[in-house]
Amino acid sequence: MSRTVQTASEFVRVEVDSGIATIRIDRPKMNPLSIEVQDALAEAARIVTADDEVAAVVIYGGEKVFAAGADIKEMQTMGYTDMVQRASIIQDCFTQVARIPKPVIAAIEGYALGAGNELAMCADFRVAAADAKLGQPEILLGVIPGAGGTQRLARLVGVSKAKDLVYTGRMIDAAEAQEIGLVDKVAEPGEAYATAVEMAQRYVHGPAFALRAAKETIDRGLDGDLATGLAIEAMQFAGVFATQDREIGMTSFVKEGPGKATFEGR
């Protein structure tokens, strides 16, 4: 049975159904990510993180658009000192989404531009409809990406491709996005959400703490050098030996072979 949790904003809600949470952005017409929406996304991240019924998360902007960027009319009125105060908060809001300790998939229909693309990059995986458009067009406004676009993009697609997209501000289609590694799967138009949910279902009965450890190890390991990453891996690897799922998984493997364990998420 599904249930709906309303966050602090009327424009963002969390819907949970059969272990999968959907963070739904709903601010017509183009889902601009205003300050209110940014803060609400952070609240939504806290909600799905704290909910033990949630095994995986899908971020979705609806059938027409994922998010076409920040609220430019709102930003137009902001000066240097305003943005000095706000810029780190924007990044913190998106980082909370990136650090949801569960598999997260962005389902992209229509446009994922600017802050919309930066939000999508906070997910572990991105599914885009074949007719979707992605990009970082901030340079066309005389600014640069400020919610992780210069950093997460370069980590995903490499430095030169990231510079191409940031320097030119051009939009790319789903096929090119998949080719460079920005998108993981391309779906038929209108099918991005269903495809993302199907991907998320594989995690619903998975070993929750092992998945959490794997995500944190990969993400935090990439922030440092190899030696630091290996140290994080060793610590997390040892840690999952305290879980019941580790005992279940290994016992099942010995008795029945691989892939037959029924995990409990503990």
Report, as residue numbers or ranges, the catalytic residues: 118, 138
Distance CA(12)–CA(5), nearest Å, equals: 10
2 HSE (CA, 13 A, CB side) = 8
Q: With CA atoms as reference, report the closest residue to 98 among 215, 207, 205, 203.
A: 215
Distance CA(156)–CA(222), nearest Å, equals: 11
Task: Please spell the DSSP secondary structure of 139-192, one letter per residue.
Answer: GGGT----SSHHHHHHHHH-HHHHHHHHHH--EEEHHHHHHHTS-SEEE-TT-H
DSSP tag of 92: H
